[in-house]
Amino acid sequence: MRVAVFTETFLPKTDGIVRVVCLLLDHLKRRGIEAVVVAPRIGDVRDYNGFPVLTVPAVTFPLYPELKFGPPTPFTYRDLVAFKPDIAHFIHPVAVGIPGMAMAKVMGIPTLASFHIDIARMADHFGVGFLRGFTDFATRTIFNWADYSLAPSKLIENEMRAIGIHNVGLWKRGVDAHRFNPRFYSDEMRYRLSDGHPEDTLLLYVGRLSAEKQVSHLRAVLDAVPGTRLAIVGDGPERAALEEHFAGRSVHFAGYLQGEELSQAYASADIFTFPSALETFGLVVVEAMAAGLPVVSSRVGGIPDVVEEGVTGFTFDAGDTDGLIAGVQQILAVPGRLETMGQQARAFAETQSWDAMMDEVIAHYERLIAQAHAHHRATA
């Protein structure tokens, strides 16, 4: 099998979508499946894990400086034809994916589109909700153009169906329970993240520092719950504003962490706090659970699918600062609850294998290719 993967973002950028794309490619490699990646030209990445990366000229998106976009070119089409893919997988098709889907249709290969960005909710959050009708129409049109679509959570699956997208399945997110594991606990990392106060309760946030993540809401927890500190892992356009917002509070900005350092950061904290207003899934939540952390998170994206209320964490409505504070307080109110909930979070995460989730995607590939072959035979 040969798969063409079209993505709107790729290395060297680091975010949840890039991580999922890389995990997919790693899994395809292990299963002996050939792949090619089509992505915007962000850095000088020409291959990934032995798979060629076809980059397309890209310009910076004004409202999101870290994002670059641009359409595939005739040279892209030439290289795709030479690769001879059996199927094309589009990671939330927009600037790269829409023209790419047209190319796939001309080539006569089946198409699979997966949902990764809730553009309609982003429009609401950024005060341009009047565009929601258009974004729903565009999303419905694009995803219905694909032969099949995949949602990252039950919530998003229901929303996709509600706006009129047909043939929708579920591609749940998994976690690498070996990489994110309590065994990576490090006294040195905890000392670093707590600014030399490892005895305090250490809250952790991991993710992009942007307005929709609502990281600023965590200051209310520090003010309301004595003996708490916050470590923020990640970077983004809101960092300077957040550093000013948290001035005088017990907060450590760690910047981006990768590899073992990221594993240590998760395992060396006490509670994972995630106040985001917008998510399609929330991959970092499952990573934190795998590291043995109870979670206090807004009920967005796939969070309700993975956090069991009062067992592995507590959830609250996005923007409900009182609910955020109450979640942390409830974990700390009962002796031993922090440890017990962390153990239960770890136990759940161990059931969420990436291999199983990715094999389901491959099964979709196989089904769509078989259907396409049957259709070609019937119309020949």
87's enclosing H/E stretch is: strand 87-91
DSSP calls for 96-157? THHHHHHHHHHHT--EEEE----HHHHHHHTT-GGGHHHHHHHHHHHHHHSSEEEESSHHHH
Residue 122: pLDDT above 70?
A: no
306 pLDDT band (50/70/90 cuts)?
Answer: very high
Average pLDDT over residues 195-217: 96
Q: What CATH number belongs to 2-174+353-379? A: 3.40.50.2000
**Any alpha helices (H) in the chain, and if so which ranges?**
16-30, 74-83, 97-107, 119-125, 132-145, 154-162, 187-193, 218-224, 239-245, 259-267, 283-290, 303-306, 321-333, 337-349, 354-379
Judged against a pLDDT cut of 90, whether residue 252 lies above it is answered with yes
DSSP code of 281?
Answer: S
* 3 state SS of 339: helix
The pLDDT score that the predictor gives to residue 127 is: 60
pLDDT in tens, 54-102: 999 988 766 555 667 789 999 999 999 999 999 999 999 999 999 999 9
Least trusted range by pLDDT, from 108-112, 192-196, 292-296, 301-305: 301-305
Q: How far is CA 125 from CA 60, 121, 128, in A?
A: 21, 6, 8
Residue given tokens 């089904």 in the structure block: 367
| Structure confidence at residue 15 (pLDDT) | 82
380: pLDDT confidence band, cut at 50, 70 and 90? confident
Q: So what's the pLDDT on residue 68?
A: 73
Q: Tell me, what's the pLDDT at 47?
A: 95
Does the structure show a pLDDT above 80 at 5?
yes
* Calpha distance 352→350 (Å, rounded): 6
129 pLDDT higher than 60: no
* Residue 315 confidence (pLDDT) above 70: yes
Which residues pair with residue 203 across a beta bridge?
230, 271
Phi, psi of 89 (to 5 degrees): -115, 125
Q: What percent of the chain has pLDDT over 70?
A: 94
**What per-residue confidence (pLDDT) applies to 125?**
53
Tokens of 347: 């136990």
Separation of alpha carbons 104 and 340, rounded Å: 50
Q: Say how far apart CA 68 and CA 189 lie, in whole Å.
A: 34
| DSSP designation for 307 | P
For residue 215, give the DSSP letter.
G
The CATH architecture to which 182-349 belongs is 3-Layer(aba) Sandwich (3.40)
Number of Cβ atoms within 10 Å of the Cβ of 67: 18
Q: pLDDT higher for 315 or 57?
A: 315
Least confident range of 75-89, 128-142, 218-232, 339-353:
128-142
Q: Answer yes or no: pTM beyond 0.85.
A: no
pLDDT over 60 (residue 124): no
Average pLDDT over residues 275-281: 86
Show me where the domains of the chain are located.
2-174+353-379, 182-349
Distances 351 to 177, 324, 338 between C-alpha atoms, Å: 9, 27, 21
Rounded to the nearest integer, the mean pLDDT of the chain is 93
| Statement: residue 130 has pLDDT above 70 | no
Whether 182-349 and 2-174+353-379 are alike in CATH topology: the answer is yes
